[in-house]
Amino acid sequence: MKQQTFEQRYQDCWAQMDEALILAENKAVLSFKKPPLDPELPQLYRRICHHLSLAQERRYSSYLVGRLNNLVLRGHQQLYQRRSHFFSQLIKFVVYTFPHQVRQNAAYVWLATLLFYGPAILLFILVQLQPELIYSLFDHETVANFEKMYDPSAEHVGQDRDAQSDIQMFGHYIQNNITIGFQTFATGLFYGLGSIFYLVYNGLFLGAVASHLVTLGYQDTFFPFVIGHGSFELTAITIAGGAGLMLGHSLIAPGQKTRLGSLKTMSLKALDLLYGIILMLTIAAFFEAFWSSNSSLSLSVKYSVGTFLWLAVIAYFVFAGKTKGSR
């Protein structure tokens, strides 16, 4: 049997196995006890093992063998290995599941990245060319608040003046970051339009404010402040947008499933992204509260650490979670 015919014949079975495993893994990530498994999982597991044996015997492509081997390994873990401690599951999620799911849905994430950074770059250029444009986007009081927050003479750059401690700011940033991330993700249920709106809006906001502050000569307070936590926060927002676009696409193009069934399937995959987004936004809040606003650090230190964090985040999503035979 040719590989193409083999794939067409059993594609639905593999997709069903993947959905069952995603559901089991999502339940396991945040569970201390072993959750109940899909009753069809053992039968699916045996069929996939047989398919893997056939693919190896017939010397099908390494990509197909790797895909089936991945399903077998995941199925074996769910069926035969004892559920490990919560923190072991968390480590597995961070090391493998989250970056793997981001790469699996890279098209959505890249589209969200374009929708966010495209308007940001455009507004940055326009405000540089016409500085008064900032007042068409924000009222004078809002602009004055931005200027006050990033004034080089400010006591606490980037912080709300009502905050009394870094701990309070940490809680404030967590709430603010997760609110933005969840808005960008959840509004994808409106056929993706809500996610598109929040991606474009936040991109315009960032580009306009950054350009205005550069015009004032505040770049040495603004960029050192945002570069540290920006790698986590901005990347998380684009991933949240990508997850929202996944939900929207499942409603626009459900394929042979009903819209509700298509949304359910896509939601299981998007959940992995949502957990990771929350984790990244929490890390961003930590850096924003305890590192970014630290005025005792030199510009070279902040830029060096910020550059390292950006490279680390990029490397994480490129390399983490890869297994032999996977792409």
pLDDT tens digit sequence for 121-133: 999 999 999 999 9
What band does 29 get if pLDDT is binned at 50, 70 and 90? low
Least confident of 26-35, 48-57, 71-80, 83-92: 26-35
Rounded to whole angstroms, the Cα distance separating 22 from 149 reads 44
pLDDT attached to residue 39? 76
pLDDT attached to residue 66? 92
Kindly state the average pLDDT of the residues 232-249.
Answer: 96
What band does 237 get if pLDDT is binned at 50, 70 and 90? very high
The alpha helices in 30-105, defined as continuous H runs, are: 41-57, 62-80, 86-92, 98-104
3-state class of 158 per DSSP? coil
Rounded to whole angstroms, the Cα distance separating 19 from 265 reads 7
What band does 32 get if pLDDT is binned at 50, 70 and 90? very low
Q: Which two tokens stand for residue 57?
A: 């015997």
Kindly state the average pLDDT of the residues 157-179.
Answer: 70
Is pLDDT above 80 for 89? no
Neighbours of 26 (CB within 10 A): 20
pLDDT attached to residue 171? 81
pLDDT attached to residue 293? 77
Kindly state the average pLDDT of the residues 308-324.
Answer: 88
pLDDT attached to residue 161? 42
pLDDT attached to residue 85? 57
Is pLDDT above 70 for 38? no
What band does 159 get if pLDDT is binned at 50, 70 and 90? low
pLDDT attached to residue 203? 96
Rounded to whole angstroms, the Cα distance separating 52 from 246 reads 29
What is the residue whose two structure tokens read 């790797």? 66
Q: Which two tokens stand for residue 280?
A: 């990244």
Q: Which of 38, 39, 90, 69 is nearest to 268 (CA)?
A: 38
Is pLDDT above 80 for 149? yes
Is pLDDT above 60 for 326? no
Q: Which two tokens stand for residue 92?
A: 């597995």
Least confident of 185-189, 232-236, 290-294, 301-305: 290-294
Kindly state the average pLDDT of the residues 176-188.
Answer: 93
**Residues 6 or more apart from 12 whose CB is under 8 A from it?**
none
Reported pTM: 0.73
Q: How far is CA 76 from CA 42, 49, 87, 146, 215, in A?
A: 9, 10, 20, 54, 59
Please say whether the beta carbons of 156 and 277 come within 8 A: no
pLDDT attached to residue 36? 54
Kindly state the average pLDDT of the residues 226-244.
Answer: 95
Rounded to whole angstroms, the Cα distance separating 233 from 252 reads 29
User: In whole numbers, what is the pLDDT of the chain averaged over residues?
Assistant: 87
What is the residue whose two structure tokens read 């060096």? 304
